[in-house]
């Protein structure tokens, strides 16, 4: 019997569960390891340092311009691995599905997950599915974990940040957060916003090939935006960051949306951008290398690491003033003031 | 012309700053009445460009900050009533009342509280939910109040009978008058709010120049606007000419926006209002007129006597009141950064993004 | 206290307009302004146009600003 929506029985572990796994999950995500359906994925690994990460994805709406929760959950974990310099190879994926989700929607999500995994060159090798009653989850929640191998001699950590290092951003900020917001009810603004969600591992690999260990720190500015990531760097390194407002790329429509809503693009989420702190002398080489990659075309050196004030990020404004950039507090809300 | 980037030109800004600093050999205290100016001054790093003799102090110009704690408690009470959808601008959602905020109300008690961008969005919600009572939290100064008046007129025309406004609007000139009457602050010039003045024009500030001999400049919000206004005020002191000047000519006419003034007067009438940290200021609030009273949330709901009438009573160390009057700065407050921060705001100045304390907290080391 | 941004009027139907900034469109009420046309800029606040932006005045302001710098130096 065919169903067009997820029922509680699809999560019961019985025949329907099996049907769902075979006809939907394996059909879309299958590969030689996942197809085994063992309790664990079993594989060989090379000698060396492994990176291991996990992240839960909840997003409303689950489909948005430029992607969906499937693509997001694959890219996010690939990116987390990449930010430690690891070359990602395997992912796991767990699904918590709300009863009533359309099976076609689920298939679309799995297809884009697979596509993102293919782009990144990784495989989804194990997973799990649970179904919960209506209202107990919002359509679908996905948790992915991933492992990757860190090339010999690479050590990327904010502790390696030194005064004088260059701060490089891989492209425009705010695209993901505004694309999501534009889909929510009640705000009523429109433009051709497109989320930047993308796997960054190939970009990172080419950067590492170019300058190797001259890359001191790297992070993807997701929730909390660029401001939060730079603050995290500054706090861990106990150094200051000085960035320049006119160097930070922001698309016109993102700027427009921010003006309308009273938002600051520095605090808006990105899903396909990275910010890296590199040895000063290597700055231009890294930048040139990033600009050759499609995901780094708009990369810019946006500032530098300074000794003081420790643990703080300051921004040189367009008119030459300076201000402190704090961590984000709570979500930004549309405001009149 | 986009009317934004042109007024951020770094070259012109540099020259303006040099001109200002050259004229600033003795101390001058300028008050920006408007919180959006406070924000813009911090956002563009303007204070650090100016000579230390130029002191910019912040006034009571944030409608979020000055909303009395008891008014927020009333809003929270309304949001808890049966079949109510409570709509508000995002600004108000985290402002603490006597005991709690709308955000906590929503999280802890499941009240249906929705953030809207415009009163028109709240009207849509009312139309789409005919079995619910949709209440809009009317906050804001003269800039915002006409849009609320227009929304009420629209609701009246369309015969919406499930839409109500809880009006906590405030008016700026009476507050400036109260501030000057208190005699506590020494001000050499006012940077007057640009968008309030878009509506009310220049005339309502004339008493400040005439009776108190303080120059006023109605100012826009881009960096060049603010710098030019500062230069105009510095020059006014040099020349001794005191009047009300308009810097923000592209958006402010001397007579203001007469259409908006008319609609405002059709729907609202002035009433005494409590300002957080300041107290009652005569004729500084707006009440919905008799003709539109069926949209007045205060008449729709049988409000219990609010127990905590005393403003800021449980926040004894908070000096928001002094800050809102320009007498103290945030760093004078014992709670600043110790107990009170943007995540756990005690007083209202920390809550609103444009509150003086939040601006200090966010933008200065 | 009041965010207001200059937006361009793209379309008008009765008292509602479609306004644009940086390629972002939104609906706005024109109930509080008179004599505005497609192509005009208005200051938008809380979903309402609250004033037409005067291009001549804006150009004059910029011209004066240029002069301040030059004359004083």
Domains of chain B, by residue range, sit at: 63-300, 320-363
Q: Which residues of chain C are within 8 Å of residue B276 when distances are taken between CB atoms? A: none
B138 has pLDDT over 50? yes
Q: What contacts A90, CB < 8 A, 6 or more positions away? A: A33, A41, A43, A122, A123, A124, A125, A146, A147
Give the mean model confidence (pLDDT) for residues A186-201. 89
In which element (H, E) is residue B77 found? Answer: helix B69-80
* A234 contact partners, CB below 8 Å, separation of at least 6: A240, A241, A310, A311, A312, A313
pLDDT-derived band at C73, boundaries 50, 70, 90: very low
pLDDT for B314 beyond 50: no
Dist CA A116 CA A124 (whole Å): 11
H or E, element range at B125: helix B119-128
Query: How confident is the model at residue B258, as a pLDDT?
Result: 98
Cβ of C1 and A192 within 8 Å? no
Residue B365 in this model has a pLDDT that exceeds 60 = no
What's chain B's average pLDDT?
89
- Evaluate the omega torsion of the peptide bond into residue A309 and state whether it is cis, within 30 degrees of 0: yes
Nearest-CA residue of chain B relative to C26? B117
Contact residues, chain A, for B15 at CB < 8 Å: none
User: What does the alpha-carbon distance between residue A224 and residue A228 come to, in Å, rounded to a whole number?
Assistant: 5
Is C58's CB within 8 Å of B147's CB?
Answer: no
Say if residues B55 and B147 touch (Cβ distance below 8 Å): no
Task: State how many domains chain C has.
Answer: 1
pLDDT of residue C68: 76
Within 8 A of C68 by CB-CB distance, chain B residues are 15-16, 19, 228, 231
* Chain C residues near residue B251 by CB distance under 8 angstroms: 4, 6, 43, 51, 53-54
Instruction: Classify A148 in phi/psi space as left (phi over 0), alpha (psi -120 to 50) or beta.
Output: beta
Nearest by CB to C29, from B144, B150, B194: name it.
B150
Return the CATH architecture of domain A158-325.
Answer: Alpha-Beta Complex (3.90)
CA distances to A26, A177, A230, B34, B44 from A224, rounded to whole Å, are: 35, 10, 10, 28, 21
Q: Is B12–C69 a contact, with Cβ atoms under 8 angstroms apart?
A: yes
| Inter-chain residue contact B196 with C57, CB threshold 8 Å | no
Is C38 part of the contact surface with chain B (CB cutoff 8 Å)? Answer: no
- Touching chains, C (3+ CB pairs < 8 A): A, B
The H or E element that residue A180 is part of is: helix A175-183
CA angle A335-B4-B10, nearest 5°? 120
Q: Is A191 on the interface with C (CB under 8 A)?
A: yes
Of the candidates C48, C61, C72, the beta carbon closest to that of B250 is on C61
CB contact under 8 A, A262 and C3: yes
Is a pLDDT exceeding 80 seen at residue A266? yes
Written as six digits, the tokens of A313 are 């990020």
Residue B152 CA, distance from chain mean position? 21
Task: Tell me which residues of chain A, numbers 198 to 257, contact chain C at a CB-CB cutoff of 8 Å.
Answer: 252-257
Interval A140-166: pLDDT, tens: 999 999 999 999 999 999 999 999 999
End-to-end CA distance of chain C: 35
* Residue C13 predicted with pLDDT over 60: yes
DSSP-assigned letter for residue B290: G
Model pLDDT, residue A60: 92
CA distance B117 to B335: 32
For A49-59, what is the mean pLDDT? 97
Q: How far does the CA of residue C19 sit from the closest CA of chain A (Å)?
A: 10
| Dist. CA B249–CA C21, nearest whole Å | 21
Q: Does C46 touch chain A (CB under 8 A)?
A: yes
- pLDDT of B315-331, one tens digit each? 567 887 788 777 888 99
Q: Lowest mean pLDDT of A7-11, A172-176, B56-60, name the range.
A: B56-60
B44 vs A321: CB contact, 8 Å cut-off?
A: yes
Q: Which of A53-67, B221-235, B265-279 has the lowest mean pLDDT?
A: B265-279
- Strands A49-57 and A140-150: what pairing? antiparallel
Q: Over 80: is that where the pLDDT of A337 sits?
A: no
For A331, nearest residue in chain B (alpha carbons): B90
Q: What is the largest CA-CA distance in chain C?
A: 51
Which candidate from B140, B223, B363 shows the least CB-CB separation from A319?
B223
**Nearest to residue A25, comparing CAs of A125, A98, A159, A173?**
A125
Task: Please compute the mean of the pLDDT values over residues B134-139 and round it to a whole number.
Answer: 97
Q: How many CA atoms lie within 13 A of A189 on its CB side?
A: 31
Residues in chain B: 365
> Which domain CATH number covers C41?
2.30.30.140
Alpha-carbon gap, residue A63 to A74, rounded angstroms:
14
Which range (B72-86, B99-113, B143-157, C39-53) has the least confidence? B99-113
Please, which pLDDT band fits residue B309 given cuts at 50, 70 and 90?
very low
> At residue A320, does pLDDT exceed 70?
yes
Residue C8 has pLDDT above 80, yes or no: yes
Pick A322's closest partner by Cβ from B48, B64, B121: B48
Instruction: Place B353 in a pLDDT band, splitting at 50, 70 and 90.
Output: low
Chains touching B by CB (3 or more pairs below 8 Å): A, C
As to burial, measured by CB atoms within 10 angstroms (0-12 exposed, 13-18 middle, 19+ buried), residue A203 is buried
Rounded to an integer, the average pLDDT of A29-55 is 92
Q: How confident is the model at residue B135 (pLDDT cuts 50, 70, 90)?
A: very high
Q: What angle do CA B226, B242, B12 make, to 5 degrees?
A: 25
Angstrom distance (rounded) from CA B110 to CA B113: 8
Q: In angstroms, rounded to a whole number, what is the distance separating the alpha carbons of residues B313 and A189?
A: 42
The answer, for B259 touching chain C at a CB cutoff of 8 Å, is yes
Pick the range with the lowest mean pLDDT from A173-182, A222-231, B63-72, B233-242. B63-72
Range in A179-183, B228-232, B276-280 the model is least confident about: B276-280
Look at B147 and C29 and tell me if their CB atoms are within 8 Å: yes
pLDDT at B319: 85
Give DSSP secondary structure letters for A18-44: HHHIIIIIIHHH--TTGGG--SS----
Which of the listed CATH numbers 3.30.110.30, 1.10.8.10, 3.30.1330.10, 3.30.870.10 matches domain A8-150? 3.30.1330.10
* Overall average pLDDT of the A171-177 stretch: 97
Instruction: Say if strands C24-29 and C16-21 run parallel, antiparallel, or are unpaired.
Output: antiparallel
Helix (H, G, I), strand (E, B) or coil at B144: coil
Which residues are A91's β-sheet partners? Answer: A124, A146
CA of residue B300 relative to chain centroid, distance: 27
| pLDDT band (50, 70, 90) for residue A327 | confident
Q: Span C38-48, mean pLDDT?
A: 96
In this structure, how many other beta carbons lie within 10 angstroms of the beta carbon of residue B316? 7
End-to-end CA distance of chain B: 36
For A231, other C-beta atoms within 10 Å of its C-beta total 20
pLDDT at A315: 96
Residues of B in contact with A185 (CB under 8 A): none
**Residue B72 to residues B95, B113, B341: CA-CA distances in angstroms?**
8, 13, 20
State whether B18 and C72 contact (CB < 8 Å). yes
Q: Could you tell me if B253 lies within 8 Å of chain C, comparing CB atoms?
A: yes
Tell which residue, B341, B322, B356, B363, has the closest CA to residue B35: B356
Residues A220-254 have pLDDT tens digits of 999 999 999 999 999 999 999 999 999 999 999 99
Percentage above 90 pLDDT, chain B:
61
Percent of chain A surpassing pLDDT 90: 86
CB B63 within 8 A of CB B141: yes
Mean pLDDT along residues A285-300: 98
CA distances to A58, A175, B316, B320 from B333, rounded to whole Å, are 40, 39, 11, 9
Q: In angstroms, what separates the C-alpha of B35 from chain A's closest C-alpha? A: 8
Distance from CA of B75 to the nearest CA of A (A): 18
Q: C37 near C10, Cβ under 8 Å?
A: no
**What does the pLDDT read at residue A188?**
75
Distance (Å, rounded) from C-alpha A31 to C-alpha A37? Answer: 10
Residues of C in contact with B60 (CB under 8 A): none
Cα angle B51-B187-C67, degrees, rounded to a multiple of 5? 50
Predicted confidence (pLDDT) at residue A191 exceeds the cutoff of 60: yes
CB A272 within 8 A of CB A178: no
- The pLDDT tens digits for A100-136 are 999 999 999 999 999 999 999 999 999 999 999 999 9
* φ, ψ dihedrals at A103, nearest 5°: -65, -30
Q: What is the pLDDT of residue B316?
A: 64
Mean pLDDT of chain C: 90
Q: Which of C33, C50, C72 sits opposite B143 (nearest CB)?
A: C50
Confidence of residue B276 (pLDDT cuts 50, 70, 90): confident
From chain C, the residues in CB contact with A336 under 8 A are: 2-3, 45-46
Range with lowest mean pLDDT among A268-272, A273-277, A296-300, B32-36: B32-36
Q: Where are the domains of chain A?
A: 8-150, 158-325
pLDDT given for residue B98 in this prediction: 72
Q: State the Cα–Cα distance between residues A238 and A224, nearest whole angstrom.
A: 20
Element (H, E) at B233: helix B223-239
Kindly list the residues of chain A whose beta carbon comes within 8 Å of any beta carbon in chain B.
186-188, 259, 261-262, 309, 312, 314-324, 326, 329-330, 333-337
Task: Provide the β-strand partners of residue C6.
Answer: C43
Give the distance, in angstroms, between the CA of residue A107 and the centroid of all CA atoms in the same chain. Answer: 22
* Separation CA A143–CA C60 (nearest Å): 58
C5 touches chain A (CB under 8 A): yes
**Shortest CA gap B64–chain C (Å):** 8
Q: Which residue in C has a C-alpha nearest to residue B263's C-alpha? A: C32
φ and ψ of A313, to 5 deg: -110, 125
Q: Write down the ipTM of this complex.
A: 0.94
A185 contacts chain C (CB < 8 A): no
Q: How far apart (Å, rounded) are the C-alpha atoms in residues B44 and B55?
A: 16
Residue B354 pLDDT: 66
Higher-confidence residue: A234 or B303? A234
**Which pLDDT value is given to residue B364?**
67
Looking at CA atoms only, how far is residue B211 from chain A in angstroms? 30
Q: Identify the CA nearest to B299 among candidates B291, B309, B308, B307.
A: B291
Q: Does domain B63-300 have CATH number 3.40.50.11740?
A: yes
Interface of B with C in 314-353 (CB under 8 A): none
pLDDT, residue C69, reads 59
What is the predicted pLDDT for the residue at C70? 58
Query: Which residue of C3, C23, C27 is in closest CB contact with A253?
Result: C23
pLDDT of amino acid A331: 76
Can you give the residue range of the structural domain that contains C17? 5-72
Confidence band, pLDDT 50/70/90 cuts, at residue B313: very low
Give CA–CA dist A20/B151, Å, rounded: 51
State which residue of chain C sits closest to A334, comparing Cα positions: C46
Tell me the pLDDT band of B307, cut-offs 50, 70 and 90.
low
Which chain A residues are closer than 8 Å to C23 by Cβ?
A: 191-192, 252-253, 256
């Amino acid at each position: 019997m065919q169903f067009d929506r997820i029922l509680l029985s699809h999560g019961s572990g019985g025949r329907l569960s099996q049907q769902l796994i075979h006809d939907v999950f394996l059909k879309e995500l299958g590969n030689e390891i996942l197809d085994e359906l063992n309790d664990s994925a079993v594989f060989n690994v090379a000698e060396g340092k492994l990176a291991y990460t996990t992240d839960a994805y909840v997003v409303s709406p689950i489909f948005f311009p430029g992607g969906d929760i499937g693509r997001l959950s694959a890219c996010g974990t690939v990116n987390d691995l990449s930010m430690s310099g690891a070359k990602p190879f395997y992912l796991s994926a767990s699904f918590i599905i709300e009863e009533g989700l359309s099976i076609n929607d689920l298939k679309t999500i799995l297809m884009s997950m697979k596509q993102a995994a293919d782009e990144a060159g990784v495989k989804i090798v194990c997973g799990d599915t649970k179904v919960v009653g209506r209202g107990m989850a919002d359509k679908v929640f996905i948790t992915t974990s991933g492992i990757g191998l860190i090339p010999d001699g690479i050590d990327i950590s904010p502790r390696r940040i030194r005064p004088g290092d260059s701060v490089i951003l891989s492209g425009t900020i705010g695209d993901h957060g505004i694309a999501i917001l534009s889909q929510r009810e009640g705000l009523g603004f429109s433009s051709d916003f497109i989320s930047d969600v993308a796997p960054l591992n190939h970009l990172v690999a080419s950067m590492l090939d170019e300058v190797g260990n001259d890359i001191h720190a790297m992070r993807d500015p997701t929730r909390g935006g660029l401001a939060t990531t730079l603050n995290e760097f500054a706090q861990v390194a106990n150094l200051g960051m000085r960035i320049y407002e006119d160097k930070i790329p922001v698309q016109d429509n993102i700027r427009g949306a921010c003006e309308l809503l009273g938002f600051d693009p520095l605090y808006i989420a990105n899903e396909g951008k990275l910010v890296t702190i590199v040895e000063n002398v290597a700055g231009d080489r890294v930048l040139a290398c990033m600009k050759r990659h499609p995901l780094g075309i708009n990369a810019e050196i946006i500032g530098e690491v300074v000794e003081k004030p420790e643990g703080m990020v300051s921004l040189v404004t367009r008119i030459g003033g300076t201000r402190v950039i704090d961590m984000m507090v709570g979500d930004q809300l549309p405001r009149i003031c | 012309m986009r009317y934004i980037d042109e007024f951020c030109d770094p070259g012109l800004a540099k020259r303006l700053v040099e001109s200002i600093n050259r004229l600033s050999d003795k101390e001058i205290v300028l008050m920006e009445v408007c919180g959006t100016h406070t924000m813009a001054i911090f956002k563009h790093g303007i204070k650090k460009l100016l000579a230390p003799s130029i002191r910019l102090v912040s006034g009571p110009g944030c409608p979020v900050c000055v909303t009395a704690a008891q008014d927020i408690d009333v809003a929270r009470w309304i949001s808890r009533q049966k079949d109510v959808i409570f709509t508000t601008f995002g600004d108000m959602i985290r402002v603490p009342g006597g005991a709690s905020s709308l955000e906590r109300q929503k999280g802890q008690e499941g009240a249906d509280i929705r953030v809207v961008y415009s009163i028109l969005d709240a009207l849509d919600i009312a139309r789409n939910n005919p079995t619910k009572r949709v209440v809009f939290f009317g906050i804001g100064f003269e800039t915002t109040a006409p849009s609320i008046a227009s929304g009420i007129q629209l609701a009246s025309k369309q015969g919406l009978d499930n839409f109500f406004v809880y009006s906590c609007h405030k008016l700026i000139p009476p507050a400036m008058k109260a501030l000057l009457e208190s005699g506590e602050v020494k001000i050499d010039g006012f940077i007057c709010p640009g968008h309030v003045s878009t509506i009310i024009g220049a005339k309502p500030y004339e008493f400040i120049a005439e009776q108190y001999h303080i120059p006023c400049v109605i100012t826009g919000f881009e960096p060049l606007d603010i710098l030019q206004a500062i230069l105009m005020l510095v020059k006014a002191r040099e020349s001794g000419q005191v009047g009300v000047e308009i810097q923000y000519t592209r958006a402010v006419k001397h007579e203001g926006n007469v259409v908006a003034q008319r609609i405002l007067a059709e729907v609202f009438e002035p009433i005494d209002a409590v300002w957080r940290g300041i107290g009652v200021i005569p004729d500084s609030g707006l009440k919905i007129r008799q003709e539109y009273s069926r949209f007045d949330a205060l008449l729709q709901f049988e409000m219990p006597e609010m127990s905590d009438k005393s403003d800021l009573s449980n926040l004894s160390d908070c000096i928001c009141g002094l800050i809102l009057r320009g007498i103290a700065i945030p760093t004078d407050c014992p709670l600043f950064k110790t107990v009170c921060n943007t995540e756990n705001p005690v007083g209202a100045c920390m809550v609103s993004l444009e509150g003086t304390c939040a601006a200090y907290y966010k933008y200065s080391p | 206290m009041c965010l207001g941004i200059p937006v361009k009027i793209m379309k008008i139907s009765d008292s509602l307009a479609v306004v644009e900034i940086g390629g972002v469109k939104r609906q706005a009420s024109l109930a509080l302004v008179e004599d505005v046309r497609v192509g005009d800029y208005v200051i938008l606040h809380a979903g309402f146009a609250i004033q037409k932006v005067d291009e001549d005045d804006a150009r004059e302001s910029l011209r004066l600003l240029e002069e301040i710098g030059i004359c004083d130096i």
